[in-house]
Amino acid sequence: MEGPTEISSSKMFGGYNKRYRHFSATLGCSMTFYIYFPPASATQKVPVLYWLSGLTCSDENFIMKSGAQRALSNEGVALVAPDTSPRGLNIEGESESWDFGVGAGFYLNATQEKWKNWRMYDYIVDELPKVLSANFQQLDTSCASIFGHSMGGHGALTIYLKNPQRYKSVSAFAPIANPVNCAWGQKAFSNYLGSDKGHWEEYDATCLIKKCSGISTPILIDQGDEDKFLNDQLLPHKFEEACKSVNTKIVLRMQPGYDHSYFFISTFIDDHIKFHAGFLFK
């Protein structure tokens, strides 16, 4: 299989934002992803922090808007930002709504035939790390953490809870924390996964945490209290309650006055990178 092709490169805080394209056998289409290589990667292997973006986003939003590169450079951590769904497959209805289809892969493996290429879970957990390991010797893919925003926060939490041995830590900004009980999740899950709500729970952090044992690393979540999606779509307190019921440590920081935007993310991004660096270098 051909390796990734570099399509752009920009220097920032002594490191480089580099964008790549490759063909994904898992998704059946070409995919793009960004890597921020910190200065330390020029002379040694560095750990990897995966960022999963939210609804309507691509691999570009976080790299351009978050301002994360300064802290990544200081901590010596590489960041990998993949896209949020397959693109270019031209499935009927894939672009009819902003909260489903293109840009809304929900980091799951679809079971319905029409959406069989929507296998973002396998792409993030299995294929992408193999691509990185085979092509970027400066990345230590065996030492990785994961975080994300909104739909990507949902993805980060569920992927971590299903694979705690693969990641040193997890955090999220305004995650969709209980998707089986919100409109975004119900729309996505019913179309991608069918009518079996038991299957839906396999991609719901609030349901998954109740089945987990041995999660010793605290989970960090930042949530703006002026986020218009807080009470009907995100439901972080449901996840907090579930964590406490199984004695899993959660730090849910309600941030006064903040909304759902990248203004919110960029305000607290350094905290999250330092949080993950503490476990990646432990």
Each of the 282 residues of the chain gets a pLDDT tens digit; together they read: 679 999 999 999 999 999 999 999 999 999 999 999 999 999 999 999 999 999 999 999 999 999 999 999 999 999 999 999 999 999 999 999 999 999 999 999 999 999 999 999 999 999 999 999 999 999 999 999 999 999 999 999 999 999 999 999 999 999 999 999 999 999 999 999 999 999 999 999 999 999 987 789 999 999 999 999 999 999 999 999 999 999 999 999 999 999 999 999 999 999 999 999 999 999
Q: Tell me which residue of 20, 30, 11, 51 sits closest to 134, measured CA to CA.
A: 20
Query: What residues pair up with 81 in beta bridges, in sequence order?
Result: 34
- Model pLDDT, residue 212: 87
Reduced to 3 DSSP states, what percent helix, strand and coil does the chain have, rounded to the nearest 5? Answer: 40, 25, 35
- Round to whole Å and give the CA distance between 99 and 52: 16
Query: What residues pair up with 253 in beta bridges, in sequence order?
Result: 222
- Residue 195 maps to which CATH number? 3.40.50.1820
- Round to whole Å and give the CA distance between 279 and 282: 5
Complete DSSP assignment for 191-243: HHH-S-HHHHGGG-HHHHGGG-----SPEEEEEETT-TTIIIII-HHHHHHHH
Q: What are phi and psi of 221, to 5 degrees?
A: -130, 130
Catalytic entry in 154, 169, 227, 276: 227
Known catalytic residue at 260:
yes
Residues 6+ positions from 251 with CB-CB distance below 8 Å: 218, 219, 220, 221
- Round to whole Å and give the CA distance between 260 and 223: 8
Question: End-to-end distance of the chain based on CA atoms, in angstroms?
Answer: 35
- Round to whole Å and give the CA distance between 39 and 179: 38
In the chain, the number of structural domains is 1
Known catalytic residue at 126:
no
- Round to whole Å and give the CA distance between 79 and 67: 12
For the whole model, what pTM was predicted?
Answer: 0.98
Burial of 259 (0-12, 13-18, 19+ CB in 10 A): middle
Known catalytic residue at 272:
no
- 28 lies in which domain range? 5-281
Q: Tell me which residue of 31, 78, 39, 88 sits closest to 59, measured CA to CA.
A: 31
- Model pLDDT, residue 1: 60
The answer to whether residues 28 and 42 touch, using CB atoms and an 8 Å cutoff, is: no
Catalytic entry in 22, 260, 272, 276: 260
Catalytic entry in 145, 150, 169, 171: 150
- Round to whole Å and give the CA distance between 150 and 259: 12
- Model pLDDT, residue 213: 73
- Round to whole Å and give the CA distance between 7 and 17: 11
- Model pLDDT, residue 214: 73
